[in-house]
């Protein structure tokens, strides 16, 4: 009699950093302008599944560290958007993750909203995407200020929806 044993590896997922991405839109053609933030504090979780790993992970973002790859644009975003309403930080926590859908609690302008996002595991990176409406965070004064500061460049139109995302490189220890 032949006895076969099957052993399944138990893995723990972990990460040490995360990147936050965003794309805002200008002009009636809805041209995207994207960027990230250079100063973030990421507080990861560990877990035996991607869902367990994501749930409870946190990030705090220094708004003034916005980076679009254009120093002049970055300075305008700080002075004519974030500083208008004294936004120094944006905080987010993934409250739940299951089957490619996450609920992310975002706090900006002293307002906390839960935003649905989708995520995928791509090789050794988790990539998440969602959309926020600046009105939900009472950010329309800042939107008006950036539209005024960039009126000609934006052809008179700055959109209030902003695509948001995250990229988390992960590693797994399996035994």
What is the model's pLDDT at position 6? 36
Asked if 55 contacts 103 with a C-beta cutoff of 8 angstroms, the reply is no
What is the model's pLDDT at position 23? 98
Q: What is the DSSP string of 69-124?
A: S-HHHHHHHIIIIIGGGT--EEEEEEEEEETTEEEEEEEETTEEEEEEEEEEEETT
Q: Which of 71, 122, 114, 123 is nearest to 94 (CA)?
A: 114
Predicted confidence (pLDDT) at residue 39 exceeds the cutoff of 50: yes
Q: Which tens digits make up the pLDDT trace of 1-31?
A: 333 333 344 667 778 889 999 999 999 999 9
What is the model's pLDDT at position 47? 85
What is the model's pLDDT at position 170? 86
Q: How many residues does the chain have?
A: 175
Q: Is residue 5 part of a domain?
A: no
Q: Which tens digits make up the pLDDT trace of 102-146?
A: 999 999 999 999 999 999 999 889 999 999 999 999 999 999 999
Q: Is residue 47 part of a domain?
A: yes
Q: Is residue 3 part of a domain?
A: no
Q: Total structural domains in the chain?
A: 1
Q: Which domain does 58 fall in, by range? A: 12-174
Q: What is the CATH number of the domain that holds 165?
A: 2.40.128.110
Q: Is residue 85 part of a domain?
A: yes
What is the model's pLDDT at position 43? 93
- Average of per-residue pLDDT across 48-60: 92
Q: Is residue 2 part of a domain?
A: no
What is the model's pLDDT at position 13? 74
Asked if 164 contacts 127 with a C-beta cutoff of 8 angstroms, the reply is no
Q: Is residue 1 part of a domain?
A: no
Q: Is residue 7 part of a domain?
A: no
Q: How high does pLDDT run on average in the chain?
A: 92
Q: Is residue 165 part of a domain?
A: yes
Asked if 36 contacts 165 with a C-beta cutoff of 8 angstroms, the reply is no
Predicted confidence (pLDDT) at residue 91 exceeds the cutoff of 50: yes
What is the model's pLDDT at position 2? 37
């Amino acid at each position: 009699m032949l006895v076969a044993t099957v052993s399944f590896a138990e893995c723990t997922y972990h990460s040490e950093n995360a990147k936050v991405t965003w794309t805002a839109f200008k002009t009636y053609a809805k041209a995207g302008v994207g960027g990230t933030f250079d100063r973030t504090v990421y507080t990861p979780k560990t877990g035996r599944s991607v869902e367990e790993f994501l749930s409870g992970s946190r990030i705090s973002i220094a708004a003034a560290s916005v980076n679009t790859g254009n120093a002049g644009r970055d300075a305008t975003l700080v002075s004519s958007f974030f500083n208008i309403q004294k936004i120094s930080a944006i905080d987010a926590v993934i409250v739940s993750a299951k089957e490619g859908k996450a609920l992310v609690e975002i706090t900006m302008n002293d307002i906390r909203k839960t935003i649905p996002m989708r995520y995928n595991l791509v090789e050794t990176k988790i990539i998440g995407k969602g959309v926020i409406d600046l009105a939900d965070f009472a950010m329309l004064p800042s939107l008006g200020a950036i539209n005024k500061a960039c009126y000609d460049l934006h052809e008179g139109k700055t959109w209030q929806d902003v695509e948001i995302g995250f990229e988390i490189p992960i590693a797994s220890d399996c035994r």
